[in-house]
Every structure is written in structure tokens, then in C-alpha cells.
Amino acid sequence: MATTDIHVNTATHAHDDHSHEHGHEHHGNFWTNYIFSEDHKVIAKQFLITGIFWALIGGTLSVIFRLQLGFPDMNLEWLRPVLGGWITPEGKLDPEFYLALVTMHGTIMVFFVLTAGLSGTFSNFLIPLQIGARDMASGFMNMLSYWFFFVSSVIMFVSLFLQDGPAGGGWTIYPPLSALPQAIKGSGLGMTLWLVSMALFIASSLLGGINYISTIINMRTKGMSFTRMPLTVWAFFFTAIIGLLSFPVLFSAALLLIFDRSFGTSFFLSDIYIGGEALPNVGGSPILFQHLFWFLGHPEVYIVLLPALGLSSEIIATNARKPIFGYKAMIGSMLFIGILSFIVWAHHMFVTGMNPFLGSVFMLLTLIIAVPSAVKIFNYVTTLWQGNIKFTPAMLFSIGLVSFFLTGGITGIFLGNSAIDIQLHDTYFVVAHFHLVMGSASFFGMMAGVYHWFPKMFGRMMDNRLGYIHFWLTFVGVYLVFFPMHYIGIAGFPRRYYSWTNFETFSGFADLNMLVSGAAVITLTAQLIFIFNFFYSMWRGRVATANPWKSNTLEWTTPVNPGHGNWPGEIPSVYRWPYDYSKPGAKEDYIPQHIPYSETPESNLPHENELIKLESSGNDPIVVAKH
Amino acid sequence: MMSLIIGIGAVLVLTIFYLIFKVGKLVSIAKGKQAYDVSKSNGIHATLFIVFLIAGLGLFFWYSWTYFDKYTLPVASEHGAVTDTLFWISMVVVVAAFVIISIIMFMFLYQYQYREDRKAKFYPDNHYLELAWTVIPAIVLAVLIFTGLSAWQDITAPASKDAEVVELVAQQFAWTARYPGVKDEALGNYNFQLIDPINEFGLDLTDKNAFDDFKSLELHIPAGKEILLKIRAKDVLHSVFLPHFRVKMDAVPGMPTQFKFTATHTTKQMREKLGNPNFNYEMACTEICGRGHFSMKMPVVVHSPEEFEEWKKAQEAWLKQNPSYLEKVPAGLREAAMISAGIPLENAIASGVVGSQSVSVK
């Protein structure tokens, strides 16, 4: 099964040496332990807590603009202490600030929460623990990755308080709007800070990604071949590769936009008459920016989604007490999705004036991506079949993810069809689609991950009942927020509208909009339960056992509070895949990865009995990689 | 004062919640209940999923059925009827898949909830099953793709030669339409550097086709005849959206775009069909363009072909409305320009716009 990438390591006791080395590093001071830590677990927690902070900001912004959309006659005077001049003298939200809110909500949620908060947290936390490594390939780069993200966060946060407001041209920052301060206030200093912040963010993301990839390739423990890696690690691996290939393109787009804004170039600007004068820029193309942006922008969807799918695969298998159905098909579909994600970007641009022939090509490629996605859903459902399902909060959130992935994913069949997309493009149908399939599904994956790995992060359990209340309020809330948007979208309501009352065509649906906004308020409030549970349990939760979910993967072989270096002694070797749940003949309904086949003769399959010989090769341990 | 009371109230409510939580926690510790492994509420969640499934699907079908007319827009273009059909075909496929998979999934959750006496089935893969659900979606999607592709090709094919051409110009935050006048039936050239507060199209008055072009703040089009919209933007991206005609196309500064379509119902016919005497077609902007994005509306009027010709004849050429721009017309073309734009020659000579120079040319 795994013979191809196994070789015999003649330098014995490499792991032992390593553990002694690490034994001395436990005593640092506060700064090296908690602030500028190079320990992957601490960095993961830093990403997580920063991500939670951003999620609250991003969620609050959305509730403010939902108030405007759901209750357009509401007097928002009570927000003046917070928003100041952005509340007009009539007690309404300023239309330009509305756009800034929409823009920042998108930017924060996509990049700061679901990229850094999700991938940053769980790639960092789980990769070394699940492949059996003492830390990341480069702890220093890992630390830099977080601090680049931190500085980027500070800059983005500061931009919220500018007099002219933060960036306001939509999270896609299409020029010329984003390039011309005379077109919208948010394209002044707010946009400059947005670009600087994103440049740092991309640097952070690349530092992290390079680390994840090299760690996974080089630092797997004895026996941890690629075909024995948990799906989480596979997902992080693909995510990191996708990020590494696509983020630099966004960087180039941002750089060219900085040039257009500040140094008089014309990459994206041409034939513009604004503010009573014709600008000198000629020959640029706004469409070029869109191509560059979506070359990242589409893979970004999968950068956000794949880690969530990886986490939920692991959680569903553990709590259904069943092997994940179609392990190899799951990997194959992620690989296929990863490849296709690079060649579907222009489906965001069917009606931008792009050559219609390109539209045909991208439509074809886009609908192909539905096939591996469908395979994933079927595999999840089959994993549940004949399982023995334990509804832990993590399991509930994973099931929520599958449900959102289904509901949101299938509407992509309309949007990927260019002929149908003509009507639906930039309406609320699109908003409903991506908030379910990418936003909510990934968010639920992140929540599932937090509930599931909290005991390993903090050595304590989160409170289950609060977790259940949190899940049901959020699950129903998210459906109430986004499902009605399909109807509003089919009726043609355009997105990013401050108000629809100027149009007879869009005059209905005050009722649905009110429902959506009300549900949004409740859903956000429900997140406070999680915040409380999270911080309360960190100090006061029940003390966890080493393997509370009876799970197979390596992180559960560490002590309750793994120290620096993760395993106090030797790193365990791996002898089997991570999904030996409910194996016929076995004593318990799980067999962890570090249990050799020689110890489980009662449950071995015929080909597994043959692997026993390889296990007992004594002083020449089988090692997958050197350090 | 009011906010203080609300604040205190909120704190009290939160404290009560906290106490309830705390008491529950202590009770559970006193009872020595296992805090993890299988929760006592396991069965409740399994049941709740079924309740959610039934309630959710019920609401979905009830709303979709009852309010069908509310969320569907009447269609008033030829290709719109085609794309609507495609939309509803996809809808049948998608809703079927959605409902079946949802029911199966939530049923499984209920049926296979944890029981101590049962062991899960060790079922790591089944290649036939996996092959089946790779191939079946692929075939269904292929059918959808090919119907979509052929519709897309028809919609984006070049417009016929005798299509009625209208130019739409977008700017923050208004639309302007320019029609080729009735005399030459051709739009004149433009250049963004010629734009000024009056010459908002940037009309190039050295081009004789520009003389009879006229401007409109409403989009007037005939029913039953192909219309070619030529779309451009002056400042930032905008997007033409004609919801009833299923038309959408971005307006891009520096890159003219176009969209062809044929309207099927005049405004009057649509009013009768809907039984709403106040019905009007509208055009909106669907690409974020700044502060006034949400107010960027253009009224749309669909005439019968005869009415449309009459309407066009009744419009004044842009040059006639702005005769001072005759100065920008090369001297040799001025008389032609005046004839084309419908400016009475005597008036112009009297006001000295044409007078001496045209004499000097002779």
C-alpha cells in the first residue's frame, strides 16, 4: 500500500535525539512562550483568537447593513456614538458608508476569518500533530506568518476609523472605482490601507503555505505514508498549494493597482472622464484586473472550503464510528477540485464584456467542477449510512456543513450556466449561493474544528449544552438568513443596493428582507454563546482526557496538554490508515494509527497480515523522511 | 436614562443566563455525569434533524408555490423566454437532487443515531457505487451544459445588420441614451477627450454621422425588432440591467460592450397582461459604482414599431439643442450639419454662427 515512499533509515534514533533536544526548550519567558512563540500550537491559537475577533467585527458590520436593508425606516440615531458622522442627520446610514460596510464585511470574512482564521489555525495546529512531527519545518517562518497577519490586521482595523471611511468599492475592488478617489471616498486612504494590508496578508499566507507544504512532504513520522494521511492533512496540503500558486497573482494585481493609483500608470485605466476632466490614462483595461483578481478569487473559494471539508471528513468519520467512505475518492475529488479551481475563474465575468467564446469555455469547465463536489457529498452521506452516530457539537456542525455545501452548491449549476447567469449575475441569488456554499459551510467547518480539537488545544472540554444551543440557533438562523435570498434574487434584486425603493421592479419583499435581517441579528447574538463557552471552558471547562472522542489520529496520542515538541518521548510510528473505526473483529470500535497490525490479529484483513513482517524489521526502522 | 435601564436589564438577563448555566454545570458534576462520549441528548438531535427536514422542506414548497408570481418577473424578450426555460429545467433537476439527498441524509442521521448495542458497518469503499455517482451527475450536467451553450451562442451572436442601434452611456449616477438620427441611421464617432459638461457624449463633430444623433434620458425601443445596445461608461464600471428583458452587460470605460435582444411586449401590452395600469419597464445598474449606485435608474418604454418611428421623428437632434457647437463642425460641413440636425439656416446666419465663414469658403 505504502511501499513506494518508504525507505530505510540507517541513522537510528534520530527521533530520540530530537526529543532530548526539545526537552530543554520548555523554559522560555512570557514573550517567547506566548507572543513571539515558534511553537505551532501557540501560533495556531494566536490565529484562532485573532480570527474570532475578526469574525465578530465582520458579523457586526453585516448586521449594521442588514438593519438598513431589513428595516429601512428605522431610526439609527442610537448608533451615532459608535458610527458618528456616518449616521446622517435624519438618523439613516450614509449610503457611502453602507458600501464601505459591505466591502469590509466581505474582505474580513473571506480573508481574515475564513483564510487566516480557519486555515491558519488548523493547518498550524493539526499538520505537525497529525503527521507526527515535533513542529513545523520552520518555526521562525511560522511565527513571521502570524506577525505579518497581525500587522495586516492592525492596518485593516485602523482603516475602519478613517475620516473618509475604509475601502468602499466592494471586496473585489474593481478599478476604476477603486483607483479613483474622486469616484468614491473609500478609494482614498482607505483603499491604500486595504492594499497595504492585503499585501502583508499575502506575505503571511505564503510564509504559512510554504511551511505547511514542506512540513507535510518532509516531516511525516515513521510509517506515515501519503496514503495513510488523515483527510485533514490532505486538505491542508492542497489548500497550501492552491494558495501558493494563486495568491501571488492577487499580489501582482494589487501592485499594479497601487501603481495606477499612485504613480500614474494605466494598467487598468482608460478613456475616463470624471469630476469634470478627462484623465490622461489611455490603453489600460479594467477587465485585466478582473482576470487577475479572479485568478486568485476563485481558487480562494477552495482555499476557504477545502480545510473545512477536511476537518468535517475527520469529524464525521470519528463520530459516525465508521471509516470515511471512499478515502481515495475523497482525495481524488479534492485534487480534481484543486486543479479545476484554476481554470474556472472567468465564470465570475460572463457579462463583463469578455469574449463570449471564453464564456462558453468557462461555462463548460465550471459545470465539470460540480462532479467532484457531488462525489464528496455522496461520500459523506454514505459515511453516515449504517454508522453509529454520536451527535457531539463538532458532529452537528459538520453535518451542518454538508447540508450547506449541498444547498449552496447546487445553485452553482444555475450560475455556472452563462445563459442563465445573465439574469442572475450580481443579484441576491449569487449572495445566497456563495454565503451558503463558501461562507456558512466553511464557517461551520471552523466551528466543528474548534469544538472537536478544543480539548487538545486547551486540555479542557467545552460545554456540550451550550454547544448544542449554539448549533441549533446558528443552523436554523443561517438558513433563515440565506434561503429567502434565493427568491429575492430570482426576482432580480441587485446586490450592494442601499435601498430598492427607487425601482418599481424591486419594490416588493419588504417582508422577506425583514425576516432575513431579524434572523441575522439572532444568529450573530447566538455566537456570543460560543464566545462565552470558548473563553469560559479555556479556564473552567472540565479537564479533558487524552483521547476524548476515541479517535484514531496521532494528535490524540499526545498528553492532555502537549508541550513543546508534542510527544514527551519518541514520536509514535504509524502502521495503518486513520479510519479503522468499527473494524469487524476488533475489541473496540476504533484502532488508532499507532497500533501495529501485529497487535490486532483478530481484526486484520488478509493483506494487512502481510504487512506485519515489515513492522518487525527491528533495528532498521522504516522511516518516511529524514529531518 | 432609557438606555441605562436597557443596559441594566441586559446585564441582569445575562447574569441570569450565567447562573442557570452555572447551576446546571454544578448539578451535572454532582451527579457525576460523563461530560462527553455519548450525550444524553443524542436522540433529541436525531429527532430535531427530522423536524428540521420536514419543516424546512414544507416551508420551501409552500412559499415557492404560493408566492410564485411574487418572485418571478414577467419576461418580455425572445431570448429571455429561452433562458427562463433553461432556468426552470435546471430548477427541476436541482430541486429533485436537493430534496432526495436531503431526505436521505437526515433520515440516516435519525436511523443510525448511536445505540450501545450496535456496531457501525465497516464499509470503506465500493467502486461501483462511486463510479455510478460520478457518471450520473456528469451526464446530467453535460445535458444542461449543451442546452446552455447553444442558448449562449445565440444570445451572443452578432446582431443582424438592420438591428435598431441604441447607445447607452453610463456615468455616476445616470444613464443617457444616444440614438442615430432618422436621417443617416448611423451613430457618429465620439472621443472621451471631447467630453465637457454640455457635450456629454464626447461627440466628434467632424464626423457627419454625428449631426443628427439625438439624446434621450429614457430608453425607447420598439417591440418585435432586434435592438443592439452599444454600451460604454465614462468614469467607472457600471452594468446595464434590464430585468424584464433578461439583459445584463457591464459598461466599461475604454472598452465598448454590446448586447442584442428583441422585446416581445410593448409597455401597453405588458400593462394589460399584468392588469397593472401603472406598470413600467426599468433599467438598473448592477455593478457597484459609488454612492448613488442604488439610484441609477433609467425608465424604459417599449413601443410598437410604428409608434417608435414617430417618437424618433419627434426628437430634436443634439446639435439642434446645442447650436453653439456648430463652431466645432468643420466649416465645410456646417450647412450639411444644419440640414442634418434640422436647424433652420436663416436663424444660424442671423446669429452669426455660420454666416461669414461659409461665405468665405464659397
Contact A278 B48 (CB under 8 A): no
DSSP A151-164: HHHHHHHHHTT-TT
Q: Which residue has the cell 442615430?
A: B180
Instruction: Give B97's contacts in chain A (Cβ within 8 Å).
Output: 410
In whole angstroms, give the CA distance from residue B249 to residue B234. 15
- For residue A403, the chain B residues in CB contact (below 8 A) are 102, 105
Among the listed ranges A145-154, B139-148, B260-269, B304-313, which one has the minimum average pLDDT value? B139-148
The whole-angstrom distance between B209's CA and the closest CA on chain A is 22
Calculate ∠ Cα B293-B298-B303, nearest 5°.
160
The residues facing A274 across adjacent strands are: A277
Residue A69 scores a pLDDT above 80:
yes
Reading the block at residue B173, the C-alpha cell is: 449616477
Please indicate, yes or no, whether residues B263 and B309 belong to a single structural domain of this protein.
yes
- Of chain A, the percentage scoring pLDDT greater than 70 comes to 94
Name every chain B residue with its beta carbon within 8 A of the beta carbon of A549. 36
Going by the DSSP 8-state scheme, the letter that residue B123 receives in this structure is -
User: How far apart are alpha carbons A489 and B71 in whole angstroms?
Assistant: 8
Chain B residues whose CB is inside 8 A of the A485 CB are none
* Residue A462 Cα, gap to closest chain B Cα (Å): 9
- Do both B345 and B242 map to the same domain? no
Verify whether the Cβ–Cβ distance A490 to B137 is below 8 Å. Answer: no
Question: In whole angstroms, what is the distance from residue A371 CA to residue A626 CA?
Answer: 38
Establish if B4 belongs to a structural domain. no
Query: B-chain residues within 8 Å CB-CB of A368?
Result: 138, 141
- Please name the residues in contact with A115: beta carbons below 8 A apart, sequence gap of 6 or more: A205, A243, A300, A303, A304
> How far B338 CA lies from chain A's nearest CA (Å)?
28
Please tell me whether residues B272 and B304 are part of one structural domain. Answer: yes
Beta carbons of B125 and A385 less than 8 Å apart: no
d(CA B164, CA B227): 5
- Residue B286 gets which letter from DSSP? -
Quick check: A13 pLDDT over 70? no
For A143, A237, B196, the CA distances from A38, given in Å and listed in that order, are 5, 21, 61
Indicate whether B246 and B334 sit together in one domain.
no
- Number of Cβ atoms within 10 Å of the Cβ of B99: 14
Q: Domain check: are B358 and B245 in the same one? A: no
The answer to whether B153 contacts A285, with C-beta atoms less than 8 Å apart, is no
B292 occurs within a structural domain: yes
Q: pLDDT, tens digit, for every residue of B299-315? A: 999 999 999 999 999 99
Averaged pLDDT for residues B87-109? 95
Same-domain status, B351 and B223: no
Residue A46 pLDDT more than 70? yes
Contact B70 A508 (CB under 8 A): yes
Same domain, B347 and B287: no
* DSSP tag of A544: P
Note down the domain range covering B273: 164-320
Asked if residue B259 is part of any domain, the answer here is yes
pLDDT digits (tens, 9 = 90+) for A164-214: 999 999 999 999 999 999 999 999 999 999 999 999 999 999 999 999 999
B279 and B186, same structural domain?
A: yes
Place of cell 510564509: A207
Instruction: State yes or no: pLDDT of B82 exceeds 90.
Output: yes
pLDDT the model gives residue B343: 86
Tell me how far apart the terminal alpha carbons of chain A are, to the nearest angstrom: 23
Nearest to B152 among A356, A463, A495 (CB): A356
Give yes or no for residue A619 having a pLDDT over 60. Answer: no
Alpha carbon of B345: minimum distance to chain A alpha carbons (Å):
33
Quick check: is B247 in a domain?
yes
What the block records as the C-alpha cell of A164 is 473618509
Q: Sign of the CA dihedral B120, B121, B122, B123?
A: negative
Phi and psi at residue B263, to the nearest 5°: -75, 145
pLDDT score of B350: 57
Tens-digit pLDDT profile for residues B205-241: 999 899 999 999 999 999 999 999 999 999 999 999 9
B35 lies in a domain? no
Do B236 and B208 share a structural domain? yes
CA of B34: which chain A residue's CA is closest? Answer: A542
- Long-range contacts, stretch B93-96, CB < 8 angstroms, 24+ apart: B93/A413, B93/B140, B93/B144, B94/A410, B94/A411, B94/A413, B94/A414
Residues B273, B265 contacting (CB under 8 angstroms) = yes
- Judged by CB atoms closer than 8 Å, whether chains meet at B248 and A375 is answered as no
Q: Chain-wide mean pLDDT for chain B? A: 89
| Contact criterion met (CB below 8 Å) for A230 and A578 | yes
- Cβ–Cβ under 8 Å, residues A349 and A290: yes
Q: How confident is the model at residue B354 (pLDDT cuts 50, 70, 90)?
A: low
Alpha-carbon span A372 to A356, nearest angstrom = 26
Optimal mutation site among B2, B34, B36, interface A, most CBs of chain A within 10 A: B36
Instruction: Give B-chain residues touching A497 at CB under 8 angstroms.
Output: 293-294
Strands B219-222 and B298-303, sheet pairing: parallel
Whether A389 and B279 lie within 8 Å, measured CB to CB: no
Q: Which residues of B touch A330 (CB under 8 A)?
A: none
B155 in a structural domain = no
User: What's A112's DSSP letter?
Assistant: I
Grid coordinates of A256: 499594479
| B342 and B293 housed in the same domain | no
CB atoms within 10 A of CB B12: 10
Q: Which three cell numbers stand for residue A464?
A: 456540550
Q: What is the interface pTM, i.e. ipTM, of the complex?
A: 0.91
The pLDDT score that the predictor gives to residue A217 is 96
The architecture in CATH of the region A3-270+278-301+470-540 reads Up-down Bundle (1.20)
Which of these ranges, A82-86, B21-25, B107-111, has the smallest mean pLDDT?
Answer: B21-25
Distance from C-alpha of A210 to C-alpha of A205, rounded to nearest angstrom: 9
Write out chain A residues lying below 8 Å of B123, CB-based. 322-323, 325, 382, 385-386
Residues B356 and B271 in one domain: no
Cβ-defined contact of A413 to B144 (cutoff 8 Å): yes
Whole-model pTM: value is: 0.92
For residue A365, the chain B residues in CB contact (below 8 A) are none
Q: Are B114 and A363 an interchain contact pair (Cβ–Cβ within 8 Å)?
A: no
Nearest residue to A390 (alpha-carbon basis) of A319, A482, A290: A319
Q: What is the pLDDT of residue B347?
A: 64
With 70 as the cut, is the pLDDT of residue A617 above it?
Answer: no
Count Cβ atoms below 10 Å from residue A6 Cβ, excluding itself.
16
Which pairs with CB-CB distance under 8 Å and at least 24 residues apart come from A74-78?
A: A78/B3
pLDDT tens sequence across A221-254 = 999 999 999 999 999 999 999 999 999 999 999 9
Same domain, B252 and B171: yes
Summary mean pLDDT of chain A? 90
pLDDT tens, position by position, B324-345: 999 889 988 888 898 888 888 7
In chain A, the percentage of residues whose pLDDT exceeds 90 is 82
- Where is average pLDDT lowest: A21-25, A460-464, B95-99, B109-113? A21-25
Q: Read off the pLDDT of each residue in A558-573 and give the average, rounded to a whole number.
A: 92
Interface test with B, best of A328, A352, A512 (most B CBs within 10 A): A352
Closest chain A residue to B198, measured at CA: A276
pLDDT higher than 80, residue A502: yes
CB atoms within 10 A of CB B301: 17
Chain A partners within 8 Å of B104 (Cβ): 381
Does residue B256 form part of some domain?
yes
Q: Which CATH number fits the domain that encloses residue B301?
A: 2.60.40.420
Domain count, chain B: 2
The C-alpha of A214 sits at a distance from chain B's nearest C-alpha, in angstroms, of 29
